A and B are shown apart, each in its own frame.
Chain A
Amino acid sequence: MGSLRILKHCSSFQRLLTCSNSFTPTPSTIQSRRYAIFPDSFIHPIFREEDQRKLIESGEAAKYAYLPVKPARTTETASVFYDDLVDKIINHIMRMGQKQLARNIIDKTIQTIKKVQLAKYYDTQDPEERAKIILNPWELLHKALENSKPFLETTPIKRGGHTYQVPVPIREKKQQALAIKWLIEAGKEKEDDMRFFVKFAYEIIEAANGTGQVIRRKQELHKKCEANRAYAHYRWS
């Protein structure tokens, strides 16, 4: 049984310790997130029907046949009511994991927008003016977000003992995050007897029209960047 003992204590453990063959992590298999259950090689699910159709039409679907997929989240459905942006806003509104509350708030906001726009629609008599009013609340929401996105911001950079506010461009993802954040903050600045979803709905409508608090905030930031344009070269020098 000597052989057995040696094999038990020497070979298997030693091979574990010396990290031979398949135990050595190769550059492609090292995980960036330590606790993630699904490794980076898993792609995010493509759950929208139109996205899948696009993949098939462009011929990329064949490539995806070899890629493992993560499970879809609860909200990621093929439902006609699913909207990427709305899903994001719900997550921004949510506090302490109360998702259903956040969903209800968004539902009420959408309802309020619809009511306000309909009232506006019936108040105006001129058919040309009427045609300009957007009645689809989701369309309005997307337009408001697009109008609220800032393109530049300032970042403090220290040069020669002074801290300069240097204008820098913002990436797409941060633009959206800032726009959502500002809209929600504007919604929270209200009288005590007003509900959040009402103020939020009005802010969205105003932003979609290119007016309101959020648009002003964006313009102020841009103005600040414009004023500090002389320091712009500190970004790279």
Chain B
Amino acid sequence: MREETRGWWRRGDARGWSYYDQGGIAPKTSTLENRVRRKDSGVEDENDSGEAKGTISKAMHAYLKRAKEHQAFIDTQEKEFVFGRRHLANMMGRDVEGFTQKDIDEAIRYLFPSGLYEPRARPMMRPPQEVYPKQKAAQFDMSGRPHHPFFYTAKPNYYYLLHEMVTKLNSLNKLAPSRSTSIIEEEEDRDSALSGSVWITKDELESRLLEKITDQMYSEWIACLERIAVHSKRDKELEFIQAYRKPLAVQTKASELPPITLEPDGRKSVHVSLCMKKSARADVLVTVPGTGEFKINGKGLDFFTLMASREAVIAPLQLSKWLGKVDVEANCEGATLAQPHVPFAGETSRAIAIRWGISTALAALGADVEKLRLAGYLVKDHRMRERKKPGKESARRTWTWKKR
């Protein structure tokens, strides 16, 4: 069954021919090919179509055989899947008719609990059409002649795309012949159309082309795209470029901030319950408007003996210019209830935990979120102490070694 997923001709999906449809050069689609192409129900038996066997090329003959085998394989898998789903539904005491894929996933999670980290390594049950890659339709006609003009490059879709891009570049160069006028020099102007997005990754390109490409081929493709992207007449091909750009997510996420509560005295406050750094845990309550009062474990800012820690705690307030305008109440302790054997957390860790709590609260209360984020105060520092390794003096350090 492993064999089934191997081989270039098996990679691809239902859009197997879509690339030709867009392309400038549309390879002739023969009537024979339509006959050969796989239908939903299965491969058409070419004996039924009345085609004389002698006129079919060996390649086509082999393809038809493979396609038929694959369809037979998928059919048995489909049968087993339906059978398995019925069993699962019975086991879970559910109605077979209304047993959806979601129910299957739940049942599998219940019956085959897995502690594996990688979700894709855990047991699953899905329709075979989703699991096994779909076949590419035949690339050649009955006489064995390929449809695609670039068939013999072995990566026809990739090289066709490159060809198309160079054609576009040449036509742009005709509009702005000299090199000095054809390239946008200013970096700002270059970025104007492309900011907030990146080129699609190699994997995404592969899935679009239905072909495996090397890193070298990918970087060549990017280089070619970038030449179009910095061309002074690129506006004509902007749509083409944008098709290969992927928008980046804006990093500031206001939706993940804690809610604001209205105090009885009319003030607004935000409570950040779990602030963490290493084994330090803290909860922070920021109230606005305030007088700049600090209350950390019942003490003032002098709860921290180190100046560095004090500076770290007030840093978000200084940056957002809210120092003296809010009241901060914080409680910090060493370990969680789940780790009673870890009593200690350093002072700096506590300060950083509180810093994160204060900045999150400030962001929720309406301070400039982007400013705090850029300063690195809104990221949870989830680095931990690296464990000691056997055969080493500490995490990385080795003992002095002498040969003799």
Q: Once the chains are docked, how many angstroms separate the CA of A215 from the CA of B391?
A: 46
Interfacial residues of chain A within 19-62, with CB under 8 A of chain B in the complex? 21-22, 24, 26-29, 35, 37, 44-47, 49, 52, 55, 59, 61-62
A binding-site residues for B, Cβ under 8 Å: 1-4, 6-8, 10-16, 21-22, 24, 26-29, 35, 37, 44-47, 49, 52, 55, 59, 61-72, 74-79, 81-82, 99-100, 103
A27 touches B386 (CB 8 A): no
Q: Taking A3-B84, A72-B377 as contacts, is the C-beta distance between A10 and B1 under 8 angstroms?
A: yes
| Cβ–Cβ contact B121 & A3, under 8 A | no
Cα distance, A21 to B215, chains bound together (Å): 13
Taken together as a complex, chains A and B put the C-alpha atoms of A55 and B383 apart, in Å, by 28
| A66→B249 contact, CB < 8 A | yes
Establish whether residues B203 and A26, one from each chain, have CB atoms under 8 Å apart when the complex forms.
yes
Q: B308 to A75, Cβ gap below 8 A?
A: yes
Whether B308 contacts A10 by the Cβ 8 Å rule is no
Task: Using A66-B196, A74-B351 as known contacts, list a sample of 8 further A-B pairs with CB atoms less than 8 Å apart, ordered by residue number in A.
Answer: A4-B84, A4-B125, A24-B202, A26-B201, A47-B376, A52-B375, A65-B196, A68-B251
> A27 contacts which chain B residues (CB < 8 A)?
202, 215, 218-219
User: Please, how many angstroms separate the alpha-carbon atoms of A69 and B377 in the complex?
Assistant: 9
B293: Cβ under 8 A from any A Cβ = no
Stretch at the interface among B160-168, B169-177, B266-274, B310-318: B310-318
Contact with A along B128-155 (1 / 0, CB 8 A): 1001100000000000000000000000
Q: A7-B125, A52-B371 are in contact. Are A74 and B312 (CB under 8 A)?
A: yes
Q: Assess whether A16 is in contact with B201, with CB atoms less than 8 Å apart.
A: no
Alpha-carbon distance A133/B250, docked complex (angstroms):
50
Q: List 26 A-B contacts (CB under 8 A).
A: A1-B84, A3-B81, A3-B84, A6-B77, A7-B125, A7-B126, A7-B131, A13-B121, A21-B203, A21-B206, A24-B203, A26-B201, A26-B218, A45-B374, A45-B377, A47-B315, A49-B319, A52-B374, A59-B188, A69-B375, A70-B376, A71-B376, A71-B377, A77-B314, A77-B318, A78-B318
Closest to B78 in A: A3
Render B288-314 as a binary contact track against A, CB cut-off 8 A, 1 for contact: 000000000000000000111101101
Q: Which residues of B contact A52 (CB under 8 A)?
A: 371, 374-375
Cβ of B120 under 8 Å from chain A: yes
How distant is the Cα of A30 from the Cα of B91 in the complex, in angstroms? 45
Q: Are A69 and B125 in touch, CB under 8 angstroms?
A: no
CB-based contact A74/B376 at 8 Å: no
Contact among A26, A69, A79 for B373, CB-based, below 8 A? A69
The interface centre, meaning the residue of A16, A71, A75, A103 with most chain B CB atoms within 10 A of its CB, is A71
Pair B308/A103 contact, Cβ less than 8 Å: yes
> Helix, strand, loop or mixed for chain B's interface?
helix
- Residue in A6, A11, A22, A52 whose Cβ sees the most chain B Cβ within 10 Å: A11
Instruction: Digitize B247-267: 1 where CB-to-A-CB distance is under 8 Å, 0 elsewhere.
Output: 011111000000000000000
> Is B235's CB within 8 Å of the partner chain A?
no
Tell yes or no: B123 within 8 A of A by CB.
Answer: yes
B3, chain A: closest CB distance, angstroms: 11
- Proximity string of chain B (93-133) to chain A, C-beta cutoff 8 Å, 1 when within and 0 when not: 00000000000000010001000001011111110100110
- B2 at interface (Cβ–Cβ under 8 A)? yes
Inter-chain contact B311/A46, CB cutoff 8 Å: no
A59→B195 CA distance, assembly (Å): 12
B351 in contact with A45 (CB, 8 Å): no
Taking the nearest CB of chain A, how far is it from the CB of B256, in angstroms? 14
Is the C-beta of B45 less than 8 angstroms from some C-beta in chain A? Answer: no
Binary interface encoding of chain B residues 17-35 relative to chain A, with 1 for a CB under 8 A from any of its CBs, else 0: 0000000000000000000
Least CB distance, A178 to chain B, in whole angstroms: 26
Complex contacts, B122 vs chain A, CB 8 Å = 12
CB distance from A101 to the nearest CB of B (A): 11
CB-based contact B382/A7 at 8 Å: no
Given known contacts A24-B203, A74-B348, A74-B351, A47 and B120 CB-to-CB distance under 8 angstroms: no
Contact assessment for B195 and A63 in the assembled complex, using a CB-CB cutoff below 8 Å: yes
Which chain B residues lie closer than 8 Å to A67 at the CB level?
251
Cα A27 to Cα B312 with chains together (Å): 37
Least Cβ–Cβ distance between B157 and chain A, in angstroms: 17
B381 on the A face (CB < 8 A): yes
B58 / chain A contacts, CB cutoff of 8 Å? none
Q: How far is the CA of A66 from the CA of B351 in the complex (A)?
A: 28
CB neighbours of A70 from chain B (8 A): 376, 379
In the bound complex, CA of A78 to CA of B322 (Å): 13
Q: Measured between C-beta atoms, what is the minimum distance from A54 to chain B in Å?
A: 12
Compute how far the CA of A64 lies from the CA of B252 in the bound complex, rounded to whole angstroms. Answer: 11
Once the chains bind, are A74 and B308 in contact (CB under 8 Å)?
Answer: yes
Q: Is B207 part of the contact surface with A, judged by Cβ < 8 Å?
A: yes
Residue of chain B at shortest CB distance from A68: B251
